[in-house]
């Protein structure tokens, strides 16, 4: 074991096989949140594998060589714990929450489901049916569908733009062999992290992980297909009560030092009740119930967008007001707005870090992204250093990209694409 570091209460150990273990003891807590994060998400799938990472997550708790699905549930719940998993665009996480004294059991179960998944054909058939139902249910939720439409359009033809759930065709096509091949190809120790926070004993966790997690490949996993932002539009006229609209632009990656400034701009534009969008679109004009902006950075790209749900009649005014508010905020953020947005960011960050689950997740993501855990003081310092000029610069930079528009519902009155682009001064097509 080597490369042991300390940052605040964080301890990091790299095992000989390349797997990294990161922990933070949080005094006063009796519980531990821990998990295994693999840097393999939906963007690491081939086209014919779409939805495979998500299916693999579902199958994780459906039995191993040593435990049935029922035994997994009974063992963890017998100690009052819980176990779950999630699939993201760039990673998959398997995690548990238990009393500190039961950390060894949780690690044993997590190691079991990752080292020796049974992929039983009967369970696989059943779980495919569950996911097909999930896809069907999802299609009935337009305020979620519109975000997948947005990503499909922003990154047209690229893996990062595909739906995490997959399609009925691709989900049905998966089998035991395809799942094993995906794990063998992407679940490699250089891109895996075991993270724990709360009532933890670092050395004990390291010993447990070293004994239980030695079966993964040690060579680096293949790189994901690059995320090439394209922009464009996708519209679906559908008989609904509301029109759901996402208007977006090319953002920054989390590797870009300006990404914190872009978060600040997102907060001041549409991050709270005092934000420009909330005040202008909802409070002053009553054009919608929900409107907000968001910034989603990835390892090599990002998106910045505004979402709103509004009625057919209000849509005529909704889009112009949103676009004019975006352009005005980019051109003239104020000192007070930037200070307020920075305070919101710091409060959100520090509040999240009081939760062992959120802290374990953040540490894992930092390790996958930066190879270290950024200290709270460093992050707060970077936020504090952001100036009005920084925010204006990154905001105006947004307006140089081709827009992405996705909309579903009664959307006939939504502005044409070229009008949307010209309204904020952005180009309507990619530069040659």
- Region 360-383: mean pLDDT is 94
Evaluate whether 39 touches 53 at the Cβ level (below 8 Å): no
Evaluate the CA torsion angle 286, 287, 289, 292 in order and state its sign: negative
User: Of residues 57, 75, 127, 152, which has the active-site annotation?
Assistant: 57
Known catalytic residue: 290? no
- The pLDDT value recorded for residue 386 is 98
Q: What is the pLDDT of residues 232-248, one digit of tens each?
A: 999 999 999 999 999 99
Cα–Cα separations (whole angstroms), residue 364 to 39, 122, 223, 256, 368: 10, 33, 19, 19, 6
pTM of the model: 0.92
Q: What is the pLDDT of residues 310-340, one digit of tens each?
A: 999 999 999 999 999 999 999 999 999 999 9
How far is residue 40's CA from residue 299's CA, in Å, rounded to a whole number? 12
Q: What is the pLDDT of residues 202-230, one digit of tens each?
A: 999 999 999 999 888 889 999 999 999 99
Asked if residue 431 has pLDDT above 50, the reply is: no
Residue 384: Cβ within 10 Å count: 9
Q: Which of 162-176, 186-200, 329-343, 349-363 has the lowest mean pLDDT?
A: 349-363
- The pLDDT value recorded for residue 158 is 94
- Region 142-166: mean pLDDT is 96
- The pLDDT value recorded for residue 426 is 78
- The pLDDT value recorded for residue 217 is 84
Evaluate whether 158 touches 227 at the Cβ level (below 8 Å): yes
* Res. 295 pLDDT band, cuts 50 70 90: very high
How far is residue 127's CA from residue 98's CA, in Å, rounded to a whole number? 26
Please, which contacts does 217-220 make with residues 24 or more away whose CB atoms are closer than 8 Å? 217/184, 217/187, 217/188, 217/189, 218/17, 218/18, 218/188, 218/189, 218/190, 219/188, 219/190, 220/188, 220/190, 220/191
How far is residue 155's CA from residue 406's CA, in Å, rounded to a whole number? 12
- The pLDDT value recorded for residue 3 is 47
Evaluate whether 298 touches 254 at the Cβ level (below 8 Å): yes
Evaluate whether 174 touches 7 at the Cβ level (below 8 Å): no
349: closest CA among 338, 334, 332, 361? 361
- Quickly list DSSP for 73-95: HHHHHHTT-EEEEEE-SS-EEEE
- Tokens 């059943």 appear where? 126
Question: Any bridge partners for residue 24, and if so which?
Answer: 10, 197
- The pLDDT value recorded for residue 350 is 86
Evaluate whether 149 touches 408 at the Cβ level (below 8 Å): yes
Instruction: Tell me if residue 151 falls in helix, strand or coil.
Output: helix
If one compares 230 and 425, the residue with the highest pLDDT of the two is: 230
Q: Which of 279-288, 334-343, 350-359 has the lowest mean pLDDT?
A: 350-359
Q: What number of CA atoms fall less than 13 Å from residue 397's CA on the CB side?
A: 16
Question: Any bridge partners for residue 234, and if so which?
Answer: 406
* Res. 432 pLDDT band, cuts 50 70 90: very low
Mean pLDDT of the residues in the chain = 94
Evaluate whether 98 touches 112 at the Cβ level (below 8 Å): no
- The pLDDT value recorded for residue 407 is 98
Could you give the domains of the chain?
2-212 (3.30.830.10), 232-424 (3.30.830.10)
- Region 343-354: mean pLDDT is 88
Asked if residue 163 has pLDDT above 60, the reply is: yes
- The pLDDT value recorded for residue 1 is 55
- The pLDDT value recorded for residue 7 is 52
Asked if residue 4 has pLDDT above 80, the reply is: no
Q: What is the pLDDT of residues 388-410, one digit of tens each?
A: 999 999 999 999 999 999 999 99
Asked if residue 368 has pLDDT above 90, the reply is: yes
* Res. 85 pLDDT band, cuts 50 70 90: very high
Percent with pLDDT over 70 in the chain: 97
**Dihedral angle of Cα 322, 323, 326, 331, to the nearest 10 degrees:** -140
């Amino acid at each position: 074991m080597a490369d042991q570091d300390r940052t605040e209460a964080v301890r990091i150990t790299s095992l000989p096989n390349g797997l990294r273990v990161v922990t933070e003891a949080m005094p006063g807590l009796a519980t531990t949140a821990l998990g295994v994060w693999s840097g393999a998400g939906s963007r690491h799938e081939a086209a014919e594998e779409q939805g495979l990472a998500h299916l693999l997550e579902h199958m994780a708790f459906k039995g191993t060589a040593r435990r049935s699905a029922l035994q997994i549930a009974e063992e963890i719940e017998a100690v009052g714990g819980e176990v779950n998993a999630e699939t993201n665009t760039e990673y998959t996480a398997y995690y548990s929450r238990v009393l500190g004294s039961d950390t060894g059991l949780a690690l044993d179960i997590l190691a079991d489901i990752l080292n020796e998944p049974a992929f039983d054909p009967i369970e696989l058939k059943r779980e495919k049916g569950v996911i097909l139902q999930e896809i069907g249910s999802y299609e009935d939720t337009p305020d979620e569908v519109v975000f997948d439409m947005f990503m499909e359009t922003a990154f047209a033809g690229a893996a990062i733009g595909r739906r995490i759930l997959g399609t009925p065709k691709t989900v049905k096509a998966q089998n035991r062999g395809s799942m094993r091949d995906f794990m063998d190809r992407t679940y490699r120790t250089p891109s895996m992290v075991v993270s724990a926070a709360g009532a933890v004993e670092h050395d004990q966790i390291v010993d447990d992980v070293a004994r239980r997690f030695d079966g993964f490949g040690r060579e680096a996993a293949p790189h994901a297909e690059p995320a090439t932002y394209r922009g464009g539009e996708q519209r679906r006229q559908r008989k609904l009560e509301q029109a759901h609209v996402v208007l977006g632009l090319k953002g920054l990656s989390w590797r870009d030092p300006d990404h914190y400034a872009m978060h600040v701009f997102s907060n001041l534009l549409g991050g709270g009740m005092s934000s420009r969008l909330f005040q202008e679109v909802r409070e002053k004009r009553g054009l919608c119930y929900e409107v907000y902006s968001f910034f989603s950075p990835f390892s090599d790209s990002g998106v910045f967008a505004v979402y709103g749900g509004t009625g057919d009649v209000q849509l005529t005014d909704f889009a112009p007001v949103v676009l004019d508010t975006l352009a005005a905020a980019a051109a003239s953020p104020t000192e007070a707005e930037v200070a307020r947005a920075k305070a919101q960011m710091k409060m959100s960050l520090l509040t999240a870090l009081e939760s062992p689950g959120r802290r374990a997740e953040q540490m894992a993501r930092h390790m996958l992204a930066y190879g270290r855990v950024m200290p709270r003081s460093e992050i707060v310092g970077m936020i504090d250093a952001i100036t009005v000029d920084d925010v204006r610069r990154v905001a105006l930079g947004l307006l140089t990209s081709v827009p992405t528009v996705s909309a579903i519902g009664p959307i006939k009155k939504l502005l044409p694409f070229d009008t949307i682009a010209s309204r904020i001064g952005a180009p309507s097509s990619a530069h040659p």
